[in-house]
């Protein structure tokens, strides 16, 4: 089974973008770990303590652990220091697959986090550095959609989450400070609708879309939905 890291700019991005797939991958025996680049604060109705409790509750529902890198929210910068922090996490968990936010986004934190993750993948394999751990290079990067842009997605593939949609929405609901007291409350409904739309593209009720620049391989057509 594979080892998987899902890197998110803020707690809730991973759940919104691919919470169903996380739950599905865990149920299939894969080792999945979430990495939060920031604690997500400040926000209008959140606190660091509240966000930590929400993130822990969501992780418990999905059956995963999570690590906080601790970069400043709203001020994430693509830097050598940030790259090496993520590279150290990659060396520790040694993931086969690395999931990152789709690189085109209106939120500067999201754009910076994707750049950091891409370069950290490269940095993690280097020798003669002060990065903790042994060199390691994840086999592939896959992008999930948690974008703030109202754009049409053109995914490379989708993962069927019909059996996991309720658990995904339960995990999203853990973030009460983000989705129940302000205009952002419409976000979970929008996400569920989007998952239903792309499900219709491949003939199942709900899926999550993904994108990759690198070629994916199949061992047989029986793996297609």
Residue 225 lies inside a defined structural domain of this protein: no
Residue 223 lies inside a defined structural domain of this protein: no
Residue 220 lies inside a defined structural domain of this protein: no
pLDDT, residue 208, reads: 98
111 pLDDT higher than 70:
yes
- Region 53-82: mean pLDDT is 98
181 pLDDT higher than 90:
no
Q: What is the mean pLDDT of the chain?
A: 96
pLDDT, residue 190, reads: 92
112 pLDDT higher than 90:
yes
Residue 224 lies inside a defined structural domain of this protein: no
Residues across the chain: 225
Q: Say if CB 33 and CB 67 are below 8 A apart.
A: yes
Q: Of 91, 111, 95, 93, nearest to 37 (Cα)?
A: 111
206 pLDDT higher than 70:
yes
Residue 17 lies inside a defined structural domain of this protein: yes
% of the chain at pLDDT higher than 70: 98
The CATH number of the domain where 96 resides is what?
3.40.50.10320
Residue 221 lies inside a defined structural domain of this protein: no
Taking the CB of residue 50, how many other CB atoms lie within 10 A of it? 17
Domain count, the chain: 1
182 pLDDT higher than 70:
no
Strands (E), the chain: 3-8, 31-36, 65-68, 97-101, 140-144, 157-160, 207-211
Strands (E), 12-148: 31-36, 65-68, 97-101, 140-144
pLDDT band at 161 (very low <50, low <70, confident <90, very high): very high
Domain that holds residue 188: 3-215
């Amino acid at each position: 089974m594979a080892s998987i890291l899902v890197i998110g700019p803020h707690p809730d991005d991973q759940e919104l973008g691919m919470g169903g797939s996380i739950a599905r991958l865990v149920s299939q025996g894969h080792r999945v770990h979430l990495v939060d680049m920031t604690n997500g604060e400040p926000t209008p109705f959140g606190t660091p303590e509240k966000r930590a409790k929400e993130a822990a509750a969501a992780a418990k529902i999905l059956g995963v652990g999570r690590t906080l890198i601790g970069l400043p929210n709203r001020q994430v910068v693509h830097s050598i220091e940030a790259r090496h922090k993520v590279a150290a996490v990659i060396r520790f968990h040694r993931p086969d697959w690395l999931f990152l936010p789709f690189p085109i986004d209106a939120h500067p934190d999201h754009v910076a986090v994707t750049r950091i993750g891409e370069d950290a993948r490269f940095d993690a394999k280097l020798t003669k550095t002060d990065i903790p751990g042994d060199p390691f290079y994840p086999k592939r990067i896959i992008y999930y959609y948690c974008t703030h842009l109202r754009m049409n997605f053109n995914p490379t593939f989708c993962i069927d989450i019909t059996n996991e949609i309720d658990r995904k929405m339960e995990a999203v609901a853990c973030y009460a400070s983000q989705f129940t007291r302000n205009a952002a409350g419409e976000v979970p409904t929008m996400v569920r609708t989007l998952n239903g739309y792309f499900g219709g593209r491949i003939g199942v009720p709900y899926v999550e879309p993904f994108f990759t620049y690198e070629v994916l391989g199949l061992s047989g057509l029986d793996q297609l939905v």
